Amino acid sequence: MKVLPTQLPGVMLFEPVLHGDDRGFFMETWNHARYSDAGLPQMFRQNNLSKSAKGVLRGLHFQEPNPQGKLVHVLSGEVFDVAVDIRRGSPTFGQWEGYHLSGDNHRQLYVPEGFAHGFCVLSDFAIFSYQCTRVYEPANDRSLAWDDPDIGISWPVDEPRLSDKDRRAPSLADCDTLPTYHEPDRAASV
């Protein structure tokens, strides 16, 4: 497994090893020891699967309190996947990164707790898998505006298909419930 560099601390992009031949392929999508050695020590508490049509944009979503970290990947199709640092006081607050994830490139993206997450579907449909560090709590479900100019995400769609929740989501500046950044514990890393 390769861990590819990203610009936002805690966001991790993985390229799992594929074992394939003319019959198909096999890949490991999660192995606690391997991912922990790569810097992802979290255990996951819930797995989710979604199927979305071309042009659907889901996000930007987060949970606060009790934030979720998410290890995401596409089983079929292609998406543009985005992580946004929304931790008040973070040196990278409001910054985003986006990656193409597909059933062909098999990449996985880890979106840490304290980040908003979203994706838009580029193929006819996409089947998308999420492993979450905490269970979903409807009362703590939050959204941010997908098109917030202060974040400035370069989505590869002009007129996405949105849920009512995502259409009404506030901007980052108008969101009153955001996680707080905590300095990394330097003693724990020594």
Q: For the chain, which residues make up each domain, given as ranges?
A: 44-167
Cis peptide before 60 (omega within 30 of 0): yes
Torsion sign over Cα 6, 154, 69, 78: negative
90-96 contacts, C-beta under 8 A, 24 or more apart: 90/114, 90/181, 91/181, 92/7, 92/8, 92/9, 93/181, 94/150, 94/151, 94/172, 95/7, 95/8, 96/8, 96/151, 96/152, 96/153
Domain range 44-167, its CATH number among 3.30.110.30, 3.40.50.300, 2.60.120.10, 3.40.640.10: 2.60.120.10
Query: Helix or strand or coil: residue 30?
Result: coil
Which residues does the annotation mark as catalytic?
Answer: 61, 130
> Would you state the pLDDT for residue 190?
47
Burial of 95: CB neighbours in 10 Å, binned 0-12, 13-18, 19+: middle
Phi, psi dihedrals of residue 58, rounded to the nearest 5°: -115, 115
Give per-residue pLDDT as tens, 38-58.
Answer: 988 778 999 999 999 999 999
> Would you state the pLDDT for residue 187?
54
- Tens place of pLDDT per residue across the chain (190 aa): 999 989 999 999 999 998 999 999 899 899 999 999 998 877 899 999 999 999 999 999 999 999 999 999 999 999 999 999 999 999 999 999 999 999 999 999 999 999 999 999 999 999 999 999 999 999 999 999 999 999 999 999 989 999 999 999 999 999 999 999 988 766 555 4
